[in-house]
A and B are shown apart, each in its own frame.
Chain A
Amino acid sequence: MTFTELGAQFGSVALSASMAVAAGLVGCFAVMRRMTLAADAMSHVALPGIGVALLLHISPLIGALVMLFLGTLLIWALEIKTRISTETVVGVVFTLALAVGSFLASGEELIDALFGAPGKLTGLEIGFGLIGAAIVIVLILWLKNALIVSLVSPDIASTSGINVIALDLTYLLAFALTIALGIRFLGVLLMGSLIIIPAVTARRLATDLTTMLSLSVAVAVISTMAGLYLGSLLQRETGPLIVSAAGAIFVLSLLKKQPA
């Protein structure tokens, strides 16, 4: 193996590990905020962006990022304006996005966007991935106290000096950025699962916040590493293997009895 190949492989492992940490952290609050379906749905918002990027011959990642950013702002604004729950608003925006996305992208490109594309990573992808994951991790760890208080009651959050509306937007943007991080490896469809499954598993096993965050990150990283290893061993795409590994750990977590 040449030095460059070794570097690329290291970059790929570091990127997938940092993406998994970000997904594990973001997912905890999505699960506690009862946004699990919204999380899956929101990942589809990237599709029209990918479609437009492919038409314009620019990186699908840029198209996805722009669309996720706009979609998040739209969801946030609709939620404030109409007072409809995030879940419902995301449902509406996502079906529209899916319709437009499948119209713009087609065939193999669409499959790649949904389930991830194999092949070597470009410098842009590694750079964006590492910086994006670092931003999400720092943001969530920095905001975790405010997120917890606002989750228990938005009113006690605002009397504690938290701007709940700005907090919601920041969280949704961190969520959207996490989806974008996974586009290359998992595709938009499976990235929603990597955000949700480890967090749901951790929620079943943990009784306090620190344990939940740690377990969720651990499950996400272990699943990702297992998927990468099995993918290279079996010469198969890593995305479905990563999500299957996370699903297997979730099934194991069902062995623990929940308190009555």
Chain B
Amino acid sequence: MQAGAVLQPPAYALEVDHLTIRFGTTEIFRDLSFKVPLGSSLVVIGPNGGGKTVLFRALIGSLPYEGSIRWAPGTRLGYVPQKLDIERSLPVTGNDLLRAKAAITKTPGKMLLTALDRVGLDMGALNTPIGALSGGQFQEVLLAFALIGDPNVLLLDEPTAGVDAPGRESFYRLIQKLQQETGLTAIVISHDLSVVARSATNVLCLSRSDSCFGPPKTILDPELLGRMYGMPLGFHFHDIH
């Protein structure tokens, strides 16, 4: 580096270039490129089987891929996975899970309490086996888990699947509040187009045949969505605003 050069902070939390993923001979998607500005929200939508979760698993390094995935230097990921199938009688409580993450990331007890406070988790839920929690409570535990270790990027894979409408609303309000308070970047898979319209900076739509990327106003176009989903969708962006 030259003397006197000024270090520019990175503008993007994530840069994906010409990403292609194959399972054997089946191509899940090809040549996918997009950028996620720091502190923004990217919502990934698309029909089932379009490769949304596959994209996430590649982003966290769990799947091989072609092309490039570049996270900004110093990225700390927090990941909330799709609904997990946990046995009801598994003797692991929310407390066990959160303390395990705190120990792994060497997070002090005070920071653990901050994560719990941010999510507003009910203390009674913490001492219940995770398999016996309601869908909404378990997602809150997983969100608190993701927040331990002070992440600057949150990856949320259909975090409100199986959660009722008020639960969904409060979950996304919480994410927005966290973004305002901490400036974190959120990348979310969601089927709820109204949530997309309200909270997304950009939208990535993935389907088996095609992909598109842009601001919600451009992507949430009934004609474009109809083409991506292979059937007409009765969603209108103006219904929300």
Interface residues in B22-54 (C-beta closer than 8 Å to A)? none
Most buried by B among A148, A156, A206, A209: A156
Is the pair B96, A208 in contact by a Cβ cutoff of 8 Å? yes
**Which residue of A has the minimal Cβ distance to B59?**
A159
Given contacts A149-B104, A154-B62, A209-B96, A32 and B81 within 8 Å (CB-CB): no
Q: Give Cα distance in the complex from A210 to B92, angstroms.
A: 9
Does B217 interact with chain A (Cβ within 8 Å)?
no
Is the pair A152, B130 in contact by a Cβ cutoff of 8 Å? yes
Total count of chain B residues near the partner, CB < 8 A: 36
Does B174 interact with chain A (Cβ within 8 Å)?
no
Given contacts A154-B62, A209-B93, A259-B88, A160 and B101 within 8 Å (CB-CB): yes
Does A184 interact with chain B (Cβ within 8 Å)?
no
Is the pair B60, A155 in contact by a Cβ cutoff of 8 Å? yes
Interface residues in B126-174 (C-beta closer than 8 Å to A)? 127-130, 132, 142, 145-146, 149, 155
Q: How far is the CB of B157 from chain A (nearest CB, A)?
A: 9
Q: How far is the CB of A165 from chain B (nearest CB, A)?
A: 10
Does B234 interact with chain A (Cβ within 8 Å)?
no
**Which residue of B has the minimal Cβ distance to A215?**
B91
Is the pair A159, B104 in contact by a Cβ cutoff of 8 Å? no
Q: Give Cα distance in the complex from A144 to B92, angstroms.
A: 12
Is the pair B104, A146 in contact by a Cβ cutoff of 8 Å? yes
Contacts of A152 in B (CB 8 A): 84, 86, 92, 97, 130
Q: What's the A-B contact tally at a CB cutoff of 8 Å?
A: 82
Is the pair B93, A207 in contact by a Cβ cutoff of 8 Å? yes
Does A158 interact with chain B (Cβ within 8 Å)?
yes
* A144, A159, A208: the one within 8 Å of B127 (CB): A208
Q: How far is the CB of B216 from chain A (nearest CB, A)?
A: 27
**Which residue of A has the minimal Cβ distance to B155?**
A159
Q: Give Cα distance in the complex from A108 to B146, angstroms.
A: 56
Most buried by B among A32, A144, A207: A207
Q: Give Cα distance in the complex from A203 to B89, angstroms.
A: 8
Given contacts A148-B92, A208-B91, A155 and B79 within 8 Å (CB-CB): yes
Is the pair A208, B95 in contact by a Cβ cutoff of 8 Å? yes
Size category of the A interface is: 20 to 34
Q: How far is the CB of B133 from chain A (nearest CB, A)?
A: 12
Does B105 interact with chain A (Cβ within 8 Å)?
yes
Contacts of B93 in A (CB 8 A): 207-209
**Which residue of B has the minimal Cβ distance to A204?**
B89
Q: Give Cα distance in the complex from A220 to B17, angstroms.
A: 54
Q: How far is the CB of A25 from chain B (nearest CB, A)?
A: 14
Does A139 interact with chain B (Cβ within 8 Å)?
no
Does B103 interact with chain A (Cβ within 8 Å)?
yes
Is the pair B57, A145 in contact by a Cβ cutoff of 8 Å? no
**Which residue of A has the minimal Cβ distance to B148?**
A160
Q: Give Cα distance in the complex from A145 to B149, angstroms.
A: 15
* A145, A156, A203, A209: the one within 8 Å of B79 (CB): A156
Is the pair B97, A148 in contact by a Cβ cutoff of 8 Å? yes
Does A2 interact with chain B (Cβ within 8 Å)?
no
Interface string of B63-84 (1 = CB under 8 A from A): 0000000000000011111001
